[in-house]
Amino acid sequence: MQDVELLMPAGNLEKLEYAVKYGANAVYLGVVDFSLRAMRKGQLITMENLKSAVELAHSLGAKAYVTINIFAFNNDIKQLEECIDKFKDANPDAFIVSDYGIFNLLRKRIPNIQIHISTQTNTLNYESVKFWRDLGASRVILARELPIADIAEIRRQVPDIELECFIHGAQCVSFSGRCLLSDYFSKGERKANHGNCTQPCRWSYKLVEETRPNEYLEINQDDRGSHILSPKDLCLVKQLPQLIEAGVDSLKVEGRTKSLYYVSAVAKAYRSAIDEVLKNPSADLDKYFNELLKVGNRGYTTGFALGDNNGDSYSYDISKGLAGADFLCEFRQPNEYVSTIPSDYHFVKIKNKMHVGDEVEIITPEEQFKANVEGVKNSDGEDLELGNTNDDVFIKFSKSPKDCKYALVRTVGIKRVQQIVEVIK
Higher pLDDT, 133 or 194: 133
Q: How much is the pTM?
A: 0.89
147/279 same-domain check:
yes
303 and 258 share one domain:
yes
Strands (E), 304-418: 327-331, 346-350, 354-355, 359-363, 368-377, 383-384, 386-387, 392-397, 408-411
Number of domains in the chain: 3
In the predicted model, is pLDDT for residue 219 greater than 70?
Answer: no
Average confidence (pLDDT) over 305-319: 76
Q: Do residues 126 and 201 share a domain?
A: no
Let me know whether 299 and 160 are in one domain.
Answer: yes
One-letter amino acid identity for 339? S
Q: What is the mean pLDDT of the chain?
A: 88
Q: In which domain, by residue range, is 159 found?
A: 5-177+230-313
Confidence of residue 423 (pLDDT cuts 50, 70, 90): very low
Interatomic CA distance for residues 13 and 19, integer angstroms: 10
Q: Where residue 336 falls among pLDDT bands split at 50, 70, 90?
A: confident
Give domain status of residue 401, yes or no.
Answer: yes
Do both 28 and 82 map to the same domain? Answer: yes
How far apart CA 145 and CA 304 sit, in angstroms, is 5
Residue 155 within any structural domain of the chain: yes
Whichever domain contains 372, its CATH number is 2.40.30.10
Query: CA-CA distance, 235 to 253, in Å (whole number)?
Result: 9
Is 168 found in the same domain as 196?
no
Indicate whether 320 belongs to any domain: no
| Phi/psi of residue 365, nearest 5 degrees | -55, -30
105, part of any domain = yes
Q: pLDDT band at residue 178, thresholds of 50, 70 and 90?
A: low
265: domain CATH number is 3.20.20.70
CA Rg value for the chain: 23
Please check whether residue 404 lies inside any domain of the structure.
yes
pLDDT in tens, 30-44: 887 676 555 555 678
Which of 279, 313, 347 is the C-terminal boundary of a domain?
313
- Same domain for 250 and 372? no
Boundary residue ending a domain (218, 239, 272):
218
Q: Is residue 223 part of a domain?
A: no
Residue 197 and residue 92 in one domain: no
Res 201: pLDDT: 72
What integer pLDDT is reported at residue 315 of this predicted model? 72
The answer to the question of residue 322 being in a domain is no
Whether 193 and 338 share a structural domain = no
* pLDDT tens, position by position, 92-134: 999 999 999 999 999 999 999 999 999 999 999 999 999 999 9
| Cβ neighbours around 175 below 10 Å, total | 14
Q: Are residues 187 and 268 in the same domain?
A: no
Query: Nearest 5 degrees, angle CA 92-CA 96-CA 102?
Result: 105
Mean per-residue pLDDT for 388-402?
97
Which residues are within 8 A (CB) of 311 and not within 5 positions of it... i.e. 6 or more apart? none
H/E segment holding residue 6: strand 5-9
